[in-house]
Structure 1
Amino acid sequence: MMKPFVPTLCLAALTACTSGNAGSTTETPAQTRRAITQLLATQTAAWNRGDVAGFMQGYWRSDSLVFIGKSGLTYGWQPTLDNHRRSYPNPAAMGQLRFEGLRVTPDGPEAAHVVGRWHLTRPGLGDLQGHYLLVLRHLNGQWVIVADHSS
């Protein structure tokens, strides 16, 4: 049975993928995969040094960004940053992030999605882990996450 939030996620992702200022790209699928893998590596490095704002640089700076997590839907870059700061108030709470099993799939010259697993190693606080689906767009010359469903 389809859960009620799934159609909402699909609609939000499609809306995000069809709005905004698309930046034309002539990247090959392999180049797209490398660029997105590098974006995720940059995010991981920022997270692992306790830099939530640096981590958020990989996300679309827009009120249309959608983040879906255990607490529900969050719209907008700033509210998403604020939620991350509340949930992970210091480097110990943030732990060390690791992405695994990445499957980067170009969906055309200006869109892609990533499916994978995340793991936070947090000594003394307990590890956290889950799966995610990211929707990315090539906007203004760079790949950015426009929708993130992490569980």
Structure 2
Amino acid sequence: MNGQRFFLLCGLLVVMAGWAVAVPARAGGDDAAAIRQVMAQQAVAWNRGDVANYMRGYKDAPDTTFVGSKVRKGYRTILDGYRKHYATAQQMGRLTFFELDVRLLPGTDGEVRYAAVTGRFHLDRAAHGEVAQDDGVFSLLWEKTADGWKIILDHTS
């Protein structure tokens, strides 16, 4: 009888542990979905030729960083770079994100405040500005802010 109780208790602990893990995972799924939603909104804005609304996915801060052919620091600097390199809607073309991998990064307290996202992009366009690249890869570091998920580091190549 003691052996049966032991196995019953172990089984109950395994079930409880699985349940306890499922709750944060569901919440994490909400965070991943929120990030994907921001990226979908960015693509819609880009495809309208609306750089200002595309940039709403970035944190408006002096330390927000974009790494491409060179390193740009600061929200305004990144915005100005996009406006310079993609001066017209024809140069912007149609943006598609794909192969997205959203990896949530919990802190020591278990709270998710950051996320790493990797993926690929494609620009379908006829006109090219200063940037001739139509396809590439990116890695993004996101921060969960009071205003929602925001990109704080963008490395696109």
Structure-1-length-normalised TM-score? 0.79
Cα distance, 1:67–1:87 mapped onto 2, change above 3 Å? same
2:151 corresponds in structure 1 to 145
Paired residues for 1:1-150 under 5 Å: 28-70=27-69, 72-108=70-106, 109-125=112-128, 128-150=134-156
Identity of aligned residues (%): 35
Q: CA deviation at 1:136?
A: 0.3
> C-alpha displacement at 1:31, in angstroms?
0.5
Structure 2: distance between partners of 1:127 and 1:141: 31
Summarize the Cα distance change of 1:94–1:124 in structure 2 as closer, same or farther, 3 Å threshold: closer
| Structure-1 separation of matches of 2:43 and 2:72 | 21
| Stretches (4+) displaced over 3 A | 124-127
Q: Which residue identity is paired with 1:81?
A: L
After TM superposition, give the deviation of residue 123 of structure 1 in Å: 2.2
Give the secondary structure class of the aligned counterpart of 1:135.
Answer: strand
Gaps of 5+ in 1: 1-26
Q: How many residues align?
A: 125
Q: CA deviation at 1:127?
A: 6.3
Higher helix share: 2
Instruction: Give the counterpart letter for 1:67 in structure 2.
Output: F
Are 1:103 and 1:115, in contact at CA under 8 Å, matched by a contact in 2? yes
- CA gap 1:99/1:139 in 2 versus in 1, 3 angstroms: same
Tell me: higher relative CO, structure 1 or 2? Use CA pairs within 8 A at least 6 residues apart.
1
8 Å contact kept, 2:91–2:127: no
SS in 2 for 1:132: strand
TM-score by length of 2: 0.76
8 Å CA contact 1:65–1:75 kept in 2: the answer is: yes
Q: Whose radius of gyration is greater, 1 or 2?
A: 2
